[in-house]
Amino acid sequence: MIFVTVGTHEQPFNRLIKKIDQLKGQNKITDEVFIQIGYSTYLPKNCQYQKFVSPAKMQLLIKQASVIITHGGPSSFIEVIRQGKTPIVVPRQKKFNEHVNDHQLTFCTDLQKRGFPIKAVTNIEDLDEAICAEKDNQLSKFHSNNQRFNQRLETLLRQLF
Amino acid sequence: MKVCLVGSSGGHLTHLYMLKEFWQDKEHFWVTFPKKDAINLLDKEKMYSCYFPTNRNLKNLIKNTFLAIKILKKEKPDLIVSSGAAVAVPFFYIGKLLRIKTVYIEVFDRINRATLTGRLVYPVTDLFIVQWEEMKKVYPKAKNLGSIF
């Protein structure tokens, strides 16, 4: 199963959903596909979809999927990395009216350069190839900094009061 | 200590929710968009709804300014925490007038460039946190705590 998520941003991400739907329609994708479409206005014809899924269902879909494709919001793709998988990340772009600026594009390419376990796809025509390559998913290790972040925040706050 | 956690729903709300270890044992309340993901995530939490969309939207900025006055005067928090986006702006400025301490966490998705909200609240923020060392060039008074994830 392939799972696609575009998060909760208010602009549509039709470019990604349409491409996946086409690949499925042309049988270039043979797996089942489930897409969380968010505020997108293009409705898939060949894939299962839902506007939003609960956090629990999201975790389950990520666990079950052999390939996970997300938009460039870190809350979407870090959950995939946390589960030891490498997400294919397609950044939203301003020129397609998918976001207010291009920060997803610069951020995702920067992260990839720094060795972060993501596969950034900036040209939608490369998606097909990225999906095929991702079938032999290598497991990634993720060390959460969350506890340390919270402890340091608590210490800094003590100095404020 | 009473904490006001304010921000957009979606990824910004995820950032604030990841501070759970910090807020769970303190009196706290949330201000966010009444969207499905926020309502789901915060179903056992005290939550106020603010107006959206806020991306470059002046009308909702004004509405959220009046909301900030109402909520902050009623709840009287000691601390306001946000990671954006635009709804943070009226809460931080009204908070400053009411002498409430503020903490802003710039989002993980910026490595070396400010967000619009970050730039706007930086002058009135008591503790400004970034997640990448490079961001200290953008915000000199910031503290880098590394990734929130």
pLDDT tens, N- to C-terminus, chain A (161 residues): 999 999 999 999 999 999 999 999 999 999 999 999 999 999 999 999 999 999 899 999 999 999 999 999 999 999 999 999 999 999 999 999 999 999 999 999 999 999 899 999 999 999 999 999 887 666 777 899 999 999 999 999 999 99
Q: Which chain A residues have a beta carbon less than 8 Å from that of B101?
A: 160-161
Q: Distance, in angstroms, between A63 CA and closest chain B CA?
A: 19
Question: Mean pLDDT of all residues in chain B?
Answer: 97
The residue count for chain B: 149
Chain-chain contact of A73 with B10 (C-beta, under 8 angstroms): yes
Identify the residue with better confidence: B50 or A142.
B50
| Band (B55; pLDDT cuts 50, 70, 90) | confident
Q: What is the model's pLDDT at position A141? A: 79
Cβ–Cβ pairs < 8 A, chains A and B? 92
In this prediction the pTM is: 0.94
* ipTM, two decimals: 0.96
| B146–A52 CB contact, under 8 Å | no
Give the pLDDT of residue A139.
72
Strands (E), B17-115: 27-32, 47-49, 79-82, 101-105
Q: Pick A153's closest partner by Cβ from B115, B145, B147.
A: B145
pLDDT at site A149? 98
Give which of A146, A147, A155 to mutate to test B binding, by max B Cβ within 10 Å: A146
Q: Which of B37, B53, B111 sits opposite A10 (nearest CB)?
A: B53
Which pLDDT score, from 0 to 100, does residue B22 have? Answer: 97
Residue A22, min C-alpha distance to chain B (Å): 28
Which residues are paired to A2 by β-bridges?
Answer: A33, A67
